[in-house]
């Protein structure tokens, strides 16, 4: 009984960290484009500022994965990262449109330190909790709840203090401080190198190097390419959905965040269903369901009306994340060496949210906007964005990825491990 209670308490402690981690992201990510526009930045500047996230994620996750797999305990690194992230968010909250360079630097800094936490928050769970396919979804679900709650935290702060969307950065700062302190209470997760020394067996080579060696596996290489292009096509969803809801559906600033959390609310249900789906459908079919969900959501956005269809399509985010992303995290953790788990999660973060979203924001999204222009009936000689074409491009792209994945991806057996919770 005691052992069962200890396991339950461990899962609760890890779930709380997930709650804070994704509440930080949810507090600013869904409304930052609107906030930047409100304080005077033009659309091009907003895009460049938001692209700092993917740019930072191209740098920091792989380095951080190597650090925690070989040199530094994960929970202490997380605490350090959250302190630095919070300081950057606070600095950004003090700026206006006359300070573009400073805003760019602060947002780049915030993502440079926050980015690695996305993968390392997963790896600390995989390290301490056995049977990840069954346990991880319920733990990660608290992150979804945190993301949802953060949107309402921002709206509440706006109402209580009668302030604008600067509130998103204030809330993010406070949540970073809370999670930095909380991470120091998490189970000690030493680097694998120290564990190996204690057992008189040194891990072979760098942790990051082990992950890159996996690219010799055709299916792992294929999935890496698909993950990259998936986030290239998904970038407009993360960057422009709020603007789409505001300009196309006529929502106000206080409605955008809560409406976008519909997807996270659905994610709670799909994360609960993930262990069952993963067990009976297997990794390939589960991930394929996620890819198909991305396609269907973009199709609904492209149709653009009625409003209930567009807003309702947000619920597909649950399947997009749980089946397309969380299932991939579980599967690839199961096939990598145990002393490279932090690096595996960091690699997935790097290739998708780093490299993929950077190319999506810097290259794909401007091209999509360029080729989605139509004449403005109200202003002869001018053009406006055609949202139908804009969203149809990633819909077609995601469907192609789904077909390629189904044809070319082959599962490999999970490694046998003996970790105890």
No. of H helices and E strands in the chain? Answer: 21, 2
**Vertex 103 angle, CA 169 and 238, to 5°:** 60
Domains along the chain?
2-188+199-408 (1.20.1250.20)
> Coil, strand, or helix at residue 383?
strand
In the block, which residue shows the tokens 């567009």?
Answer: 310
What are the distances in angstroms from CA 289 to CA 224, 279, 392? Answer: 17, 14, 19
d(CA 150, CA 329): 24
C-alpha 144: how far from its chain's center? 11
| Nearest residue to 331 via CA among 391, 266, 284 | 284
Strand, helix or coil at 385?
strand
Q: What is the largest CA-CA distance in the chain?
A: 76
Count other C-beta atoms under 10 Å from residue 259's C-beta.
Answer: 19
Q: What is the pLDDT of residue 197?
A: 44
DSSP 8-state secondary structure symbol assigned to residue 313: G
Per-residue confidence in pLDDT tens, the chain, 421 aa: 446 667 788 889 999 999 999 999 989 987 888 888 888 888 778 878 888 888 887 777 666 666 666 777 888 889 999 999 999 999 999 987 778 999 999 999 999 899 888 878 887 888 788 776 678 888 888 888 898 888 889 988 988 988 888 899 999 999 999 999 999 999 888 876 544 444 444 445 566 677 778 888 888 899 899 989 998 999 888 878 878 888 888 887 667 767 877 877 888 889 889 989 998 999 999 999 999 999 999 999 999 999 899 999 998 988 998 898 888 888 888 877 776 766 777 788 788 888 888 888 778 888 888 888 888 777 887 888 899 999 999 999 999 999 999 999 998 876 654 444 4
CA distance 237 to 326: 18
The pLDDT assigned to 384 comes to 83
Q: How confident is the model at residue 402, as a pLDDT?
A: 96
Locate 208 and state its tokens.
């990051």
Phi-psi region of 373 (alpha: psi -120 to 50; beta: other; left: phi over 0): beta
The DSSP secondary-structure symbol of 199 reads T
Cα–Cα dist 330/274, whole Å:
11
pLDDT at 138: 85
């Amino acid at each position: 009984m005691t052992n069962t209670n200890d396991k339950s308490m461990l899962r609760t402690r890890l779930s709380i960290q997930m709650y804070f981690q994704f509440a930080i992201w949810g507090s600013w990510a869904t409304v930052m484009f609107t906030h930047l526009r409100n304080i005077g930045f033009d659309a091009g500047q907003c895009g460049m500022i938001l692209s700092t996230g993917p740019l930072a994620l191209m740098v920091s996750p792989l380095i951080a994965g190597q650090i925690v797999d070989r040199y530094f305990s994960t929970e202490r690194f997380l605490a350090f990262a959250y302190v630095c992230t919070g300081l950057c968010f606070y600095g950004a909250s003090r700026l206006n449109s006359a300070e573009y360079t400073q805003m760019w630097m602060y947002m780049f800094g915030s993502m440079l330190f926050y980015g690695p936490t996305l993968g390392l928050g997963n790896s600390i769970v995989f390290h301490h909790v056995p049977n990840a396919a069954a346990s991880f979804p319920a733990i990660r679900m608290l992150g979804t709840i945190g993301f949802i709650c953060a949107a309402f935290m921002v709206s509440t702060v706006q109402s209580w203090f009668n302030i604008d969307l600067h509130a998103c950065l204030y809330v993010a700062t406070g949540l970073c401080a809370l999670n930095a302190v909380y991470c120091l209470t998490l189970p000690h997760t030493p680097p694998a190198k120290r564990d190996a020394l204690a057992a008189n067996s040194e891990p072979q080579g760098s942790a990051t190097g082990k992950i890159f060696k996996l690219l010799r596996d055709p299916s792992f290489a294929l999935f890496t390419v698909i993950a990259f292009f998936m986030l290239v096509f998904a970038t407009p969803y993360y960057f422009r959905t709020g603007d789409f809801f505001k300009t196309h559906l006529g929502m106000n600033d206080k409605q955008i965040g809560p409406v976008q959390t519909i997807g996270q609310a659905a994610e709670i249900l799909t994360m609960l269903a993930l262990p069952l789906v993963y067990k009976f459908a297997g990794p390939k079919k589960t991930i394929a369901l996620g890819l198909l969900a991305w396609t269907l959501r973009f199709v609904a956005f492209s149709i653009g009306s009625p409003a209930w269809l567009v807003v309702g399509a947000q619920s597909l985010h649950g399947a997009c994340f749980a089946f397309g992303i969380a299932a991939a995290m579980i599967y690839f953790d199961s096939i990598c060496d145990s002393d490279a788990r932090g690096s595996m999660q960091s690699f997935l973060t790097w290739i998708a949210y780093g490299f993929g979203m950077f190319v999506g924001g810097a290259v794909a999204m401007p091209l999509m906007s360029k080729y989605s222009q139509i004449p403005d009936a109200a202003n002869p000689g001018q053009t406006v964005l055609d949202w139908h074409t804009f969203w149809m491009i990633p819909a077609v792209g995601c469907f192609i990825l789904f077909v390629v994945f189904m044809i070319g991806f082959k599962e490999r057996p999970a490694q046998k491990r003996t970790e105890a919770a």
